[in-house]
A and B are shown apart, each in its own frame.
Chain A
């Protein structure tokens, strides 16, 4: 790789290189000659290598040598700015962002047209609602930003301890500069990205949880730089002279390469490699470690956490997609209405006495305008007149419904868990209704179903089965003590196997509070590990007499069956990773033997052991896997002194590398992990697994990888689609022994199928990063539900990274079946209702154009136009969309079939939309023509006086308001006092307002000027209500409008009753899907399955429920 930078020095450590700040921008030099020559394979990835600049950090700002001038480098300070706005830019920036929303922009355009062109309605009619929406949004966003400011301030002003001149100094967090030495105590959050120098533990280890960064709630182990672990005091750490060379900040949380050069007086500087295990990230929390020292390398907005900060991603639910589709339809209706009117207007006006009769002359200005321009402004005027058909307030109402509605989830006491004192949590109210639409649930069985408790069930050593408790036919009989057993395997093999279990893991011991430090009390010690099955294995070994006692310096202590303590020097560890699917340790026994232990999935172990040993174990592994246990195979290899020396050298070199370190390490281990000897296999049970479910298909990770990454053979390319087809037809598919990445692959695969079904991923926060990331995928979201069985702060933080969190898995039932269903029905109804009520609002106005010479004369008064959506009809639907329970919660929860009825976004498909649109159109026609016929004789009072055009409009409007409100009342199946209050209150308010509005001669003030330049509504309403004919017409027309709906509901109910003998009586929504019975025919699936089995060699033990 050095070839790419010709002439660059290849000397690994050079204080001149490091001391020279100018060189810090130099291209990175990687690897060393040996490594590069050893394997040309490494070079294959050189093309992809992304060269980033490096930075040099001087620990404690101390120059590394007297000969070099210390140059202060400029790095950003440690201030975190998560707020979007400042006082100064709030107004322009916020307005700009708000008008980027298509709806707001539309209303702005309408408003501007009204201001510029002479339009039938004053700018206030559309300006006021827009103003209202903008103000409300701005206040909300301003408040949120203020909270962010406050939180930023709290973080920036929080005190941290730094070591300066061998003294502890307390400072604000924002004052930290790159190179400062920072001290962090237990349970504190790291104030910036730190290179871990020393901890209070002798072994230079600390535990950290990154729950708030990536949602992973387990403890991770970090390692201090080996040569600085001793500097455990302020004085000590202050004496350190070192320089760190590392890459410039990049957002990947799991990647870091760097190098530290430690200078000691009169000695050659020592270089040590730094990796992600040395970098403590800002935002993560120190756990189980009294304190640590670290040197700041990335600060403020350059920390990995800040780089990972993304602004709110605009999330779109299926409902929103439907809204947008409907909006386009209505926009088309709007444009065509305006076009029709404009065309007809000019046809009508071609007759000169229609265009300009003597009683209605144009102004000079009007006459002089070009015809084309006039037509254009006419078109715009019609657009303005009909623009109310696009419901401006719908967005506000939808947002309010989502925001307020989500409170009900958090308030639900049935989803509160007494034990962990947590209720449900909603982090994303955008997707509430999506919970009612979930078609595929992905759940991580390990943690979620079992609540993280795993049990060591059995093991097999050299093909002999060892099982506790139950006597086995082919195995051995059970005796009283767990530490005694009989078996066919040789004693030494058994011991080797158990030692392997005790050594090959990354389990840590959390010490109890009152530990004397020398002997760890077995009773009060707790195992901590990143994966619960590791603990299960260590505990399993303990049952058979081998106890892992923890680390002491670099030794692992194991108590054997004879209660002797054995010590093994831990030389190298290569952690489990999803690609390798195995982990290895190299230890040195007290007798000086070098042993390599390896445990992993059978698929990754079997190819690496002596083939003749496999057969016996394989039988066991497969049977265990089929029973649903998690299986692992254990193998070992003895290394000679010479072998080890070589390996050790290679590994140390690999660890120095600044890039691709893991890959290099893995490659070396790959080379070692051959010709191993298989000792046995283990089976670990998830508790709930025995409470077996009806599953359809079982597939394991290795088979899955075959499907996802088919070999080059052309025939295998369609495995994925066949597999998908089968999966979609099964009620449940079990994927066992999966790598975390495969989880995301599966989710993505299902999500991307036809129709983009809505999926729900469930996990407990541990090992779910890929699922969480998939969930945050901006375009096609899959809500991530966290079931936080974990107590305490970590669990909560993991929960906070999810979209929804419930304390227990069992709460999923109510969350989906009741809350999800209700939210969906509510919001779907809300959306349809909004379009409907605006259609029948505007249709009469459109029809009126045919009778007023297409002159854009509004039918309704400006106040009515403005307030229809804001005041008269807004609250009932909001109350409905918050409180409605068309079926009560108990029934919903107990009958999952009801959930199917709203699947596929059933209530927002084109068919129900068409129904609502027809309903709106029908009602609009009834309103207009009903009143039109009534006005054939406009003397409707008993004193012979006549009504004018404003009375006409007011009658139509009154019928309209009453009809749409009563229509909602008809749809309401759950009348709480609030519904009564809002529905009857709205109508009363309308009546009151109309009296008030027409009851006063308004003194025209500046603000109301455009509203009130005419006193046209003066006593119009009062006169209207004194007319008996009007009353009769209003009652009749309301009834006619609602009649078809009532009839349809009755017929539907009657029809359903005839088909159904089920005793319970449920109101059926009109847009409910008819119940589909059963699943797809058996034949087809079996064909497909056999097809796939033949090709993929799948194991499909059970095909129930198909």
Chain B
């Protein structure tokens, strides 16, 4: 695409129509416009010590308080984490460590723990997995979004991206793909132990998925009936699932593809160690904290094998602030950067002052 006008090309007196600028125009005098003369009015900022110094101070002064604010907020967030993988022999879940998919009887275990401080606001219950590569390419692409969106043809003809989880026993799998197939299926129940009695804590399973996912992106297949069983006619369950997709929940608005646990699982995590929202514990009244300090027990129906790939499972209880969960990184980073800025501002000011006095005339013109 070399833009050149070879001399020989026009040698035989061809009109120079190829567009050599100003070559053969009627009036050759260039227009006296600001643009053509490269004299457009322009702002010509120059970074000098004079302009940058105040900026450094201001940025320092802004960043440090923000950082402190974030840091304090993050520190005020209550978070409690239990690893219930059961790799340690003394762990109650050790017996379930080698659970497999096709075991018929569920393995249950109970872990007791104590909260030293009360959780005042709404508590969010997460499960966390480690060394689980949800971001593996083969895994990430192994889904059919149009099937999940309720497209009837995709329901019966899943995309080939779902391979090797697209058909089973000659029938299309719904939902197809590795992600759906490996859906987290441990059941976690929380009890507060008050004088040896186990008071179950209400775990809310709705409102854990993105609203747009729940209401737009994920749709059950459509048809004349509201009966999900009929709508999923002709499909089969994912091989690792104990029951089909239309039996995930008893409530119809949380069943099938729009089951929120399912939707949460389908949003693949960014890193191999991740947490996903499992349940909400809402504060019941203003008199009591959501979770009081004291003893609790966690009942686990241990179905999900992670030991085979050296994985870990955790249960996390956390309160949430305006900035989300506990995350010390942001606060520390803000404070550090703000301090460096401020420090450099001081250093520069000293240098500038020292040299600025030496040659007075050449002082910050802009």
A residues sitting closer than 8 Å to B (CB atoms) are 80, 82, 120, 136-137, 140-141, 144, 147-148, 150-152, 154-155, 189, 212-213, 215, 282-283, 285, 305, 308-315, 353-354, 357-364, 395-396, 399, 402-403, 406-414, 416, 421-430, 772, 776, 800-802, 851-853, 855-858, 883, 885, 888-889, 930, 932-953, 970, 973-979, 1001, 1004, 1013-1016, 1018-1019, 1022-1023, 1027-1029, 1032-1033, 1036, 1039-1040, 1043, 1046-1047, 1049-1050, 1053-1054, 1057-1058, 1060-1061, 1063, 1065, 1067
Question: Contact check: which of A934, A1013, A1029, A1039 meets B159 at CB < 8 Å?
Answer: A1013
Q: Give B272-302 as 1s and 0s: 1 = Cβ < 8 Å from A's Cβ atoms.
A: 1011110010000000000000000000000
Distance in angstroms between the alpha carbons of A726 and B103 in the assembled complex: 93
Question: Contact check: which of A354, A934, A948, A1022 meets B330 at CB < 8 Å?
Answer: A934
Shortest Cβ gap from A898 to chain B (Å): 16
Say whether B355 contacts A1057, CB under 8 Å. Answer: yes
Contacting residues, chain A, for B143 (C-beta < 8 A): 1014
Distance in angstroms between the alpha carbons of A136 and B1 in the assembled complex: 9
Distance in angstroms between the alpha carbons of A978 and B41 in the assembled complex: 10
B residues sitting closer than 8 Å to A (CB atoms) are 1-18, 20-23, 28-32, 36-38, 40-49, 52, 59, 63, 66, 70, 101, 122, 124, 126, 132-143, 145-146, 149, 159, 161, 163-165, 178, 181-182, 207-210, 212-213, 216-217, 264, 267-272, 274-277, 280, 305, 308-310, 318, 320-327, 329-330, 333-334, 337, 341, 344, 348, 351-352, 355, 358-359, 361-362, 365-366
Say whether A309 contacts B140, CB under 8 Å. Answer: no
Q: A944-B280, A1013-B159, A1061-B362 are in contact. Are A399 and B164 (CB under 8 A)?
A: no
Say whether B217 contacts A1018, CB under 8 Å. Answer: yes
Q: Chain B: which residue is nearest A1054 at the CB level?
A: B49
Question: Contact check: which of A315, A947, A1004, A1022 meets B2 at CB < 8 Å?
Answer: A315
Shortest Cβ gap from A1032 to chain B (Å): 6
Say whether A1058 contacts B355, CB under 8 Å. Answer: yes
Say whether B365 contacts A1065, CB under 8 Å. Answer: yes
Say whether A1013 contacts B12, CB under 8 Å. Answer: no
Q: A425-B22, A948-B268 are in contact. Are A312 and B6 (CB under 8 A)?
A: yes
Question: Contact check: which of A151, A408, A975 meets B15 at CB < 8 Å?
Answer: A151
Q: A305-B12, A934-B330 are in contact. Are A1018 and B49 (CB under 8 A)?
A: no
Say whether A800 contacts B10, CB under 8 Å. Answer: yes
Shortest Cβ gap from A1063 to chain B (Å): 7
Say whether A428 contacts B4, CB under 8 Å. Answer: yes
Say whether A949 contacts B140, CB under 8 Å. Answer: yes
Distance in angstroms between the alpha carbons of A942 and B318 in the assembled complex: 12
Say whether B269 contacts A938, CB under 8 Å. Answer: yes
Say whether A408 contacts B136, CB under 8 Å. Answer: no
Q: Which 3 A-B pairs have the closest CB atoms?
A: A359-B182, A410-B22, A952-B270
Contacting residues, chain A, for B270 (C-beta < 8 A): 935, 938, 947-949, 951-953
Known interface pairs A411-B22, A1047-B344; 10 further A-B residue pairs with C-beta atoms within 8 A, sorted by A's residue number:
A120-B137, A311-B6, A353-B310, A413-B32, A942-B324, A974-B44, A1001-B216, A1001-B217, A1049-B47, A1050-B348
Shortest Cβ gap from B75 to chain A (Å): 13
Say whether B11 contacts A213, CB under 8 Å. Answer: yes
Shortest Cβ gap from A267 to chain B (Å): 40
Distance in angstroms between the alpha carbons of A942 and B324 in the assembled complex: 5
Q: A359-B178, A1014-B143 are in contact. Are A937 and B10 (CB under 8 A)?
A: no
Distance in angstroms between the alpha carbons of A285 and B12 in the assembled complex: 10
Shortest Cβ gap from A121 to chain B (Å): 10
9 A-B residue pairs with Cβ-Cβ distance under 8 Å, sorted by A, are: A305-B12, A309-B11, A425-B23, A945-B210, A973-B45, A1015-B145, A1057-B359, A1058-B355, A1065-B365
Q: Chain B: which residue is nearest A138 at the CB level?
A: B1
Say whether B181 contacts A359, CB under 8 Å. Answer: yes
Contacting residues, chain B, for A973 (C-beta < 8 A): 44-46
Contacting residues, chain B, for A975 (C-beta < 8 A): 42-45
Contacting residues, chain A, for B182 (C-beta < 8 A): 358-360
Contacting residues, chain B, for A396 (C-beta < 8 A): 1
Question: Contact check: which of B31, B42, B272, B326 meets A411 at CB < 8 Å?
Answer: B31
Distance in angstroms between the alpha carbons of A940 and B207 in the assembled complex: 16
Contacting residues, chain A, for B210 (C-beta < 8 A): 945, 1019, 1023
Question: Contact check: which of A144, A939, A976 meets B126 at CB < 8 Å?
Answer: A939
Say whether B216 contacts A949, CB under 8 Å. Answer: no
Shortest Cβ gap from B20 to chain A (Å): 6
Say whether B16 contacts A938, CB under 8 Å. Answer: no
Distance in angstroms between the alpha carbons of A358 and B102 in the assembled complex: 13
Say whether B28 contacts A423, CB under 8 Å. Answer: yes
Distance in angstroms between the alpha carbons of A150 and B18 in the assembled complex: 11
Distance in angstroms between the alpha carbons of A430 and B2 in the assembled complex: 7
Distance in angstroms between the alpha carbons of A1053 and B277 in the assembled complex: 52
